[in-house]
Amino acid sequence: MNIKQTSEFRVANARNTVADLLGREPRGLRDIAVYDASGRPSVIRVASMVDGRPFPTLFWLVDPALNLAIDRLEAGGAIAAIQHQVDHSGELREAMISDHRRHRRLRDSFLTAEEYRSLKESGMFAALCQRGIGGISEPTRVRCLHTWYAAHLVVPNAVGQLIHEKLTSSQGA
């Protein structure tokens, strides 16, 4: 079985579970990127084109417990707190820029020839290339913690590590 067949097999077996976790039919589902300890999908990989339009969010968090924990972090002001850290650390800003660059390369590696051609022909490829983790176009801005953490669970990143530390410390509280 090759890689494409393997991911198609995983998607076919997990589609109903992912739909239950999302509360809707998944659009653009390409693969299960991360499973939790019990074998349920935690992070899915989404196509870079969904319904004929660019979709820059490569990884989507579907784990309900993690989503709730991150919802609570966001409600408690974690986005502003992390942004404050970023604004006061050149090292963290550089790490974020590097993380976005690496994420774009990874996303590009998953583009099918058909998606690439369609994006180029429609003039939308450049717009996709300007978007990093979670579709962010401003590389040192912190927005949705869910997308940062989903990406972090697949390939560690600086903001995802900060989120992980906050999740870990909130569980101990």
What pLDDT digit, counting tens, does each position of 80-137 carry?
A: 999 999 999 999 999 999 999 999 999 999 999 999 999 999 998 988 889 999 999 9
Q: How high is the pLDDT of residue 47? A: 94
- Segment 19-38 mean pLDDT: 93
The tokens describing 83, both together, are 């942004």
Report the alpha-carbon distance of residue 56 to residue 74 in Å, rounded: 22
How would residue 52 be classed by pLDDT, with cut points 50, 70 and 90?
A: confident
Q: How high is the pLDDT of residue 91? A: 98
- Segment 68-74 mean pLDDT: 97
* pLDDT for 60 beyond 70: yes
Q: How high is the pLDDT of residue 3? A: 58
How would residue 158 be classed by pLDDT, with cut points 50, 70 and 90?
A: very high
Residue that is written with structure tokens 């993690």 in the block: 66
The tokens describing 8, both together, are 């198609």
Q: What is the DSSP letter of 55?
A: -
Report the alpha-carbon distance of residue 56 to residue 107 in Å, rounded: 8
The tokens describing 51, both together, are 């319904």
- Calculate the average pLDDT of the chain: 92
Name residue 35's beta-bridge partners: 41
Q: How high is the pLDDT of residue 1? A: 54
Helices (H), 59-172: 64-75, 78-87, 90-110, 113-122, 125-129, 145-154, 158-172
pTM over cut 0.95: no
Q: How high is the pLDDT of residue 4? A: 61
